[in-house]
Structures are given as C-alpha cells and as structure tokens.
C-alpha cells in the first residue's frame, strides 16, 4: 500500500526554482508542437486526470501547464457531486461521453475516482459496492487504453499545513474569496480518511495505468513535474504528421 505520509510534498532544496520555471516554459512549447502532431495524426487521444485534496491546485495546474496548447484540440471537464439525472444512471454514465476523441486532449478536474472517494469516506454506499467499483474502474480504463486513449493520472500531493494556508487565503484575498466553500473547512476533519482512501486508490486502481504522486506545495515544481511527464509520454508515442 502506498504511504503518502512518506512522500514529500515539497521539492528537494537543491532544485533551482528559476531554472525549473524556465524548463517548464520550454516543456510547454514542446507540448504545443506535440499536440499539433497528435491532432493531425489522429491515432491516439490523451486523458489527463487530476485528483487531490481540496485546494491542492487542480484549477491552477490546468491554467499554467496547458496555457500554450491550442484550445481547439483540448477540453476540460469538472466533476462535482452528481446531479439528480446522473444519479439515475450508472456512475460511469456521466464520465464516458467526455473521453477524448482521437487527436484530442481532455483534462478531468476530478473524475470517476470521486465515486470511490466520497462514498468511502462518508459511507453513502455499502463497502461491497465500493470494492466492486475498484474492479469496474480498472476494467473501464483498460478498455479505454485498448482503444487508443492514453491515460495520465496525477495525484496533487499537498501537506495539511499548506491546505490550511490556502483555505485561509480564500477567506482574505479578494481575488480568491469566490472560491471559498465552507465545506472545505468541514472536510478538514476527514483529512485522514480521505488520505487513506487515496492511498488505496493509488495502490490498487489500474496498476498498468499508474498514478503519479506530484509534490504540490510549491506550484512551480508541481507544474514542472506534470509538464515533463506529459511531454515524455507524448514523445513515447512517436507522433508524426501524415505524409
């Protein structure tokens, strides 16, 4: 079982911030070129899944890491609490329509993993049903992968102290107050429960499509790690323009 407690949320102090920020900018330009080939070739699609505790930086990651790519070839989908209509269907019904078409990149801000996370912490469905969802999500992701969808899963790993600081900023910073949700404070008491469920998700969901745990207390380092991971994966696809 993955132990998030043993994984740092901050970079090695020897890593130079200024140099890393510049490397991130270079990676974003590479990503833009690779996206163009992905779109032209239309053999693969890329699904980026972002998960993490409240305030872990999912919105910020989307803004910063994907700022150089062509909006025509990218979409973002956020998954909140399921609507009344969505609750009348199987839990993956609301997810599948937003899986990217070949040539496209889609970013999930939260995802189908919320349908394991929330029910596990708040005991809204039986444990047996939750256990079954692990198997179903593994099958779902394997099916997508076998049909040309490249799935990249990132857990944004922040410390409890950093989360408290970010929640406080939402109550005092005029540009962030709109993000404040009292539920963020209420959920603080469930920190340990959420983390334990994430550890199980990271350890058991689709081992052949592994999670990357991204230290996320420092945004510049988080952005670099994710940009670098995406570029490396796109390069491994050996993308090329049609002749």
| pLDDT computed for residue 205 by the predictor | 81
C-alpha dist (Å) from residue 9 to 20, 163, 191, 198: 17, 11, 15, 15
Q: Is 221 exposed, middle or buried (0-12, 13-18, 19+ CB in 10 A)?
A: buried
Say if CB 214 and CB 156 are below 8 A apart: yes
Which 3 state secondary structure label does DSSP give 149?
strand
- Domains within the chain, CATH numbers bracketed: 4-9+16-236 (3.40.50.300)
| pLDDT computed for residue 124 by the predictor | 95
Q: What is the pLDDT along the chain (243 residues), one digit of tens a residue?
A: 889 999 999 999 999 999 999 999 999 999 999 999 999 999 999 999 999 999 999 999 999 999 999 999 999 999 999 999 999 999 999 999 999 999 999 999 999 999 999 999 999 999 999 999 999 999 999 999 999 999 999 999 999 999 999 988 888 877 776 777 776 666 678 999 999 999 999 999 877 899 999 999 999 999 999 999 999 999 999 999 999
| pLDDT computed for residue 1 by the predictor | 83
Length of the chain: 243
| pLDDT computed for residue 187 by the predictor | 67
| pLDDT computed for residue 184 by the predictor | 62
Which 3 state secondary structure label does DSSP give 148?
coil
| pLDDT computed for residue 218 by the predictor | 98
């Amino acid at each position: 079982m993955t132990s998030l407690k043993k994984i740092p949320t901050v970079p090695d102090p020897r890593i130079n911030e200024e140099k890393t920020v510049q490397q991130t900018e270079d990676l974003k330009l590479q990503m833009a070129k690779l996206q163009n080939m992905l779109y032209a070739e239309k053999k693969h699609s890329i699904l980026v899944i972002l998960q993490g505790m409240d305030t872990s930086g999912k919105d910020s990651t989307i803004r910063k890491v994907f700022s150089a790519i062509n909006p025509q070839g990218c979409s973002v989908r956020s998954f909140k609490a399921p609507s009344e209509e969505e609750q009348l269907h199987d839990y993956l019904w609301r997810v599948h329509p937003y899986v990217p078409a070949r040539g496209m990149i889609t970013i999930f801000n939260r995802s189908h993993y919320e349908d394991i996370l929330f029910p596990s912490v708040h005991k809204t469905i039986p444990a047996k049903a939750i256990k079954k969802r692990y198997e179903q999500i593994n099958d779902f992701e394997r099916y997508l992968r076998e049909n040309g969808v490249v799935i990249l899963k990132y857990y944004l790993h922040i410390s409890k102290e950093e989360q408290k600081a970010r929640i406080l900023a939402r109550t005092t910073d005029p540009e962030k107050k709109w993000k404040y949700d009292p539920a963020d404070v209420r959920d603080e008491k469930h920190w340990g429960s959420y983390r334990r469920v994430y550890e199980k998700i990271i350890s058991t969901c689709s081992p052949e499509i592994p999670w990357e745990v991204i230290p996320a207390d420092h945004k510049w380092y988080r952005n670099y790690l994710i940009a670098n991971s995406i570029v490396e994966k796109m390069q491994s696809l050996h993308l090329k323009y049609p002749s």
